[in-house]
Amino acid sequence: MAKTGVSLVITICALIYPVHLLDNGLAQTPTMGWLHWERFLCNVDCVNDPHNCISEQLYMQMADIMVQEGWKEAGYEYVCIDDCWLAQERDAQDRLQPDPTRFPSGIKKLADYVHSKGLKLGIYQDVGNLTCAGYPGSHGYYDLDAETFADWGVDLLKFDGCNFGTLDILVEGYKNMSRALNATGRNILYSCEWPLYLWPFHQPNYTDIRQYCNHWRNYGDVYDSWQSVKSIIDWTAIHQNLIVPVAGPGGWNDPDMLVIGNYGLSWDQQVSQMAMWVIMAAPLLMSNDLRSIDPKSKMLLQNKHLIAISQDPLGRQGYRIGRVNSFDVWERPLSGGRYAFAVLNRQEIGGPRQFPLLLATLPSWKTCHPECRVTQILPSYQDLGVQNLFSTLKLTINPSGTILFTVTLNEGLAAEQKWNWNRNMNKKRKTPNSVF
């Protein structure tokens, strides 16, 4: 290619995806793993509750189970420590140190153990003076802390934003830690909460954030309840024009942890959380107890069809295309001209409700011209056969449940034939307006 051609391509790429200053090549697809916070919080009482307290044993057990019980094989890779792992003081050289009674072997040994299982270790720190739970923060020590994490063999840093002081410290702190991680030469995935802490003051600059972080939290902490999960989904839909375009390989919006397998969500609500996190191209960081998880929740979290959608190489985040009669319809474009759709029944009274979906009303209706194959993935796998533009899918959806399905160009059709057909169609008519 001539030089001008190359620079034109580079310019176009830079316009689509801003240059990544965080040069770690990580998170090409949404991160998958386990993170302790929602389920284990700041339980530091290893005397009375040794099985559930924040200690090296907890992460070693989770790592063991992730290998033994098919989690690693399904794609879950990162075992992540959240707040409350630190000692109350830095050491004599100002280096961070873990609580000596709960992490007697130290983080390096723990990282070695996790690596010996073929998994990766995540850790937590804060941009301000103190973490949210009151342990020493990284402010004033970004380089030293990044070097410490790299020396220990840490693979992911969740960087919180509590106690940040001024907005300058918040923004510069997130950027400086990103640079400090880069400078270590170790590839450390950088998980930020920068926009969440900026929102009370002004709208965050997401183009900027994407340059420094591999994912970023936008909204408050997930709780083990449908109310909480629903509020995250709604926030995402309301802000989709701002946040969806910026997501893609290397940088993702993070709606917080999956709470599937805990106490607060009904089966249908667990299905909905999984479906929506997959549609939203969200990091899949479970916070549950893998040692005692219900087999049904485990099957849902390990469902290979869902994980394939989550990890789709096109890396586009889905968006809500409409709301009708208390049904929310979402779509996510996938590689190969495929789409995933989710229809969420928001009504929380009564029984299952019917939603007739005429394929011609979808913005991506062309995929079904002249024919498409429809496959239901959730709540159960079902081949819905070959359909066309005029087909109506008769969906029946439980209260607070979701049906997730994919629409694929029918394999019997040559791509070229479809392209020609679409071209002719485009000449003749406009895309039908969505009913939504």
Catalytic positions are 160, 221
Q: Which of 132, 177, 290, 374 binds ligand GLA (CB under 6 A)?
A: 132
Which of 386, 226, 231 is CA-nearest to residue 218? 231
Pairing of strands 402-409, 339-345: antiparallel
Footprint of ligand GLA on 54-93 (CB under 6 A) = 82-83
What is the CB-side half-sphere exposure of residue 118 using CA atoms within 13 A? Answer: 10
Cα first-last separation, the chain: 45
Q: Are 347 and 353 in contact (CB under 8 A)?
A: yes
Nearest to ligand GLA of 81, 246 (CB atom)? 81
User: For residue 30, what are its two tokens?
Assistant: 């949404």
- The strand pair at 189-192 and 156-160 is best described as parallel
Give the C-alpha separation, 248 to 315, whole Å.
5
One character per residue 172-211, x = contact with ligand GLA (rule: CB under 6 A): ---------------------x------------------
Instruction: Please check whether residue 156 is in contact with residue 34, taking contact to mean a CB–CB distance below 8 angstroms.
Output: no
CA-based nearest residue to 44, from 108, 133, 113:
133
Identity of the residue, 127 or 309, whose beta carbon is nearer to ligand GLA in the bound complex: 127
- The string of DSSP codes covering 247-302 is -BTTBEEE---B-TTSSS--HHHHHHHHHHHHHTT--EEE-S-TTS--HHHHHHHT
Q: Site mask, ligand GLA, residues 156-175, x = CB under 6 A?
A: ----x---------------
We find the least distance from the C-beta atom of residue 84 to ligand GLA, in angstroms, to be 7
Q: Tell whether residue 219 is a contact of ligand GLA (CB under 6 A).
A: no
Q: By C-beta, is 17 or 235 nearer to ligand GLA?
A: 235
Which stretch in 85-93, 95-103, 127-135, 371-379 sits in contact with ligand GLA by CB under 6 A? 127-135
Q: Do 409 and 368 meet the contact criterion of CB atoms below 8 Å apart?
A: no
Q: Whole-number minimum distance, CB 371 to ligand GLA, in Å?
A: 45
Cβ-based nearer residue to ligand GLA, 258 or 403: 258
For residue 285, state whether it binds ligand GLA (rule: CB under 6 A).
no
Q: Is 99 in the site for ligand GLA (CB under 6 A)?
A: no
Q: Judged by CB under 6 A, how many residues of this single chain contact ligand GLA?
A: 9
Q: Which stretch binds ligand GLA (CB under 6 A): 13-21, 90-98, 125-133, 304-312?
A: 125-133
Q: Which of 32, 86, 133, 150 binds ligand GLA (CB under 6 A)?
A: 133
Q: Which residues pair with residue 190 across a beta bridge?
A: 157
**Closest C-alpha among 32, 20, 89 to residue 257:** 32
By CB under 6 A, the residues from 224 to 263 that bind ligand GLA are none
Which of 112/221 has CB closer to ligand GLA? Answer: 221
Question: Which of positions 7-46 make contact with ligand GLA (CB under 6 A)?
Answer: 37
Question: Could you tell me the smallest distance in angstroms from the CB atom of residue 373 to ligand GLA?
Answer: 40
The SS3 call for residue 314 is coil
Q: Which residues bind ligand GLA (CB under 6 A)?
A: 37, 82-83, 131-133, 160, 193, 221
